[in-house]
Structure formats: structure tokens, C-alpha cells
Amino acid sequence: MPDGIIVKALSGYYYVKPRENGKLVSSGDTIQCRGRGIFKKRGQSPLVGDHVIYSHTENGEGMVDELLPRQSELIRPPVANVELAVLLFSMKEPDLNLQLLDKFLVHIEHSGLKTLICLTKQDLLNGESTRNEDSTTYVQQLYESIGYEVLVTSSRSGMGKELLRDRLANRISVFSGQSGVGKSSLLNALMPNLSLETNAISMRLGRGKHTTRHVELMELDNGGFVADTPGFSQLDFLELGVEELSNCFIEFEEYADHCKFRGCSHMHEPGCKVLEAKEAGKIALSRYEHYVLFYTEMKDKKRRY
């Protein structure tokens, strides 16, 4: 039986991209499929990104018969088998929000995906002086010192486009980030034939309108697929336990194992090596302050629920 990957789910239909000899067909139409009723009985739900076994039906459509094992599964956005999360944050319009960036990084670390930080709209900074903590160089050096890969891009000039294309090749990636940072514009720059809808930034609100309405895998010409997802203006920590938070700040790890107390919150305990590292400048102050903010937010929510 033929197999493929679900590239779109809409109105009860699954659109399957066929595979041949274990490789996705680089061209050709998708097969519009329904899912078998057995999935509902099993409590299963096919997701965009799922590798599936399907069969052709008499009406020229198809039927998803079997879901193959998943390598990963995201709750929000609902996508399976993603390998790389590309977090897009603009330097200007809207201004870079490091607190929100760190919040996204916590969620991505919790999901177990590889991360690529993509700083967009670099062209808007040309000739403009910024505070040191708002500069591209500062942000890039900060997150690279932690262990993240950071790319600086501009859809207008094409800066960073080829490097990004290389990172997206032969894998499923998810694009995410604050609304209005240029996700659709950057995808259009990578693949002009996509012609994704873009919207101007609301200068009054400092953010963009959401232009993406559903999760869909878009095919690149290098074997890669990208899930362009609805923009987020906020995230919550309902699916994350407060005791897991410090593990999502990857620079804490080498110090946390040597704290005096097991289960150290890294907030006030004596003998806390994370606090010592922060005081010694080995952990960035902004990162630690965001950790405290998130920890407090999670504790407050736990008390309310």
C-alpha cells in the first residue's frame, strides 16, 4: 500500500503527499483523504506531519489507513515529526522582546526539538543607533554563548536566506514567533512561488495581524517542509510543571547538578550554584530574571488552579 506524509488538514480532510522508495515525491499533487473511523475509536487523531499508509478510493480520493510511529509531537501547534523549531523575532517593528523569546525557548526545550533563533528585519536597523542590549550583535552573542544557533536575516536584502535554506533542507521544521515579525515574508523570500499573504504592522499596537489561519506544511525545493503556524502574542505554562522549568534554561544545567539541595529552585537556597554563577556573570542577568518571572507566574497559576 502507498505511504506519504500529511501536509494539510482541513474540514475533515487530510492532504497526503506521496512517498516513493522511502522518499517524498518532490513534485506532483497531494491525495485528498479521509481518516478511517478506527482512529476515533482508538483516541487517535492524524496530525499534519504524520507519516501514513493510505489507499485509493473509487471516487479518486483516498483513505488514511494507518499512522506510522511519530518521532515527535507538538501540542501547539499540532504537528508531528518536527525536527527543528525556527523562532523568528524581529529587531524592529515590532521591537525585539527578549522576555517573549525566552518564553518560546522554554516551550521548545520542553518539547525536545532542536532550535534555531532567526532575527528578522535587520535592514530596519541600518543607520540607526540602538542600546547595546537591543543590538543584533549583543543578542546574537548572548544566545550563541548559551548554545543556540542564531541567524540574522532580512527578507528585503536577502541576508541570511541561503544559510536558512541549508538549515531547512530534508527535514520538517516549524516556524513560530511573535506576530508581525515577518514569517510569511521570509518564507516568500525562500520560495517566491508560495505567495503567502502578508500584512503591514499596526504602528499603534506595534504588532502585526495574523495572516496564517491553519497549520500546513509547505514544500521547499531542497527536500524540506516548513509548518507556518498562526502567530502567538502570548503563551502559558499549563502543560509544563514548575519543577521542569530550570531544565528548560540550558545554561543552568552544568551548575544545577552541584546545588547543595536536591530540587533547588535556584531562587534563594544556600549553596545554589546557579545563583553563584549568575553573580559571577556566567549566566546572563536577563535570562535569570526571566527564569524568576516565569517561575513566579507558574507558582501563581498553580495556586489559582
Q: Does 178 count as an annotated binding residue?
A: yes
Q: Does 296 count as an annotated binding residue?
A: no
Q: Does 182 count as an annotated binding residue?
A: yes
Q: Does 210 count as an annotated binding residue?
A: no
65 touches 38 (CB < 8 A): no
Backbone angles phi, psi at 32, to 5 degrees: -80, 120
Q: Does 286 count as an annotated binding residue?
A: no
Q: Does 99 count as an annotated binding residue?
A: no
d(CA 269, CA 295): 15
Q: Does 272 count as an annotated binding residue?
A: yes
Q: Does 184 count as an annotated binding residue?
A: yes
Q: Does 134 count as an annotated binding residue?
A: no
Task: Report the relative pairing of strands 51-56 and 216-219 from DSSP bridges.
Answer: unpaired
Q: Does 181 count as an annotated binding residue?
A: yes
Q: Does 300 count as an annotated binding residue?
A: no
Helix (H, G, I), strand (E, B) or coil at 80: strand
Q: Does 32 count as an annotated binding residue?
A: no
Residue appearing with cell numbers 540607526: 128
Q: Does 179 count as an annotated binding residue?
A: yes
Q: Does 177 count as an annotated binding residue?
A: yes
Q: How far is CA 125 from the centre of its chain?
A: 25
Q: Does 180 count as an annotated binding residue?
A: yes
Rg of the chain (C-alpha set): 21
Q: Known binding site for Zn(2+): residues?
A: 259, 264, 266, 272
Q: Known binding site for GTP: residues?
A: 120-123, 177-185
Q: Known binding site: residues?
A: 120-123, 177-185, 259, 264, 266, 272
